[in-house]
């Protein structure tokens, strides 16, 4: 069954700088082994101007939990998470079993 890793990326202190770094982050995520699909999203701003609960999401799809687990333990993941950490944002990572696509 397909496994998805969802990264919920919190609001950066400098959104413009984060957005400049983001294409390289997406490219590094795309290099994870056994990655089948990458889906990126940017959270809409709130109409009342209050902060959004997050800035971006990144969904990484793999054929299995084992593939996903191996992907985040490898060299490519070190490069990706290192770049993400260098932006100064915090994030939450969720492993999910995709029940419906």
Domain positions in the chain: 3-97
Residue 100's pLDDT is 87
Residue 27 is predicted with a pLDDT of 96
Q: pLDDT value at position 15? A: 93
Identify the pLDDT of residue 33.
97
Mean pLDDT of the chain: 95
CATH 2.30.30.110 for the 3-97 domain, yes or no:
no
Q: Which 3 state secondary structure label does DSSP give 64?
A: coil
Q: How far apart are alpha carbons 30 and 80 in whole angstroms?
A: 9
Q: Which residues contact 99 (CB under 8 A, 6 or more apart)?
A: none
For the chain, which residues score pLDDT lower than 50? Answer: none
Distance CA 16, CA 18 (A): 5
Longest CA span, the chain: 42
CA torsion 30→86→11→60, rounded to 10°?
20
pLDDT of the residue at 69: 97
């Amino acid at each position: 069954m397909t496994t998805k890793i969802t990264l919920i990326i919190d609001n950066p202190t400098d959104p413009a700088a984060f957005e400049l770094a983001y294409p390289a982050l997406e490219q590094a995520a795309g290099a994870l082994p056994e990655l089948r699909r990458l889906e990126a999203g940017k959270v809409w701003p709130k109409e009342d101007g209050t902060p959004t609960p997050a800035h971006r999401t990144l969904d990484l799809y793999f054929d299995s939990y084992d593939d996903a687990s191996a992907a985040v333990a490898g060299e490519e993941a070190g490069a990706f998470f290192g770049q993400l950490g260098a932006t100064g944002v915090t994030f939450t990572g969720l492993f999910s079993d995709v029940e419906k696509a």
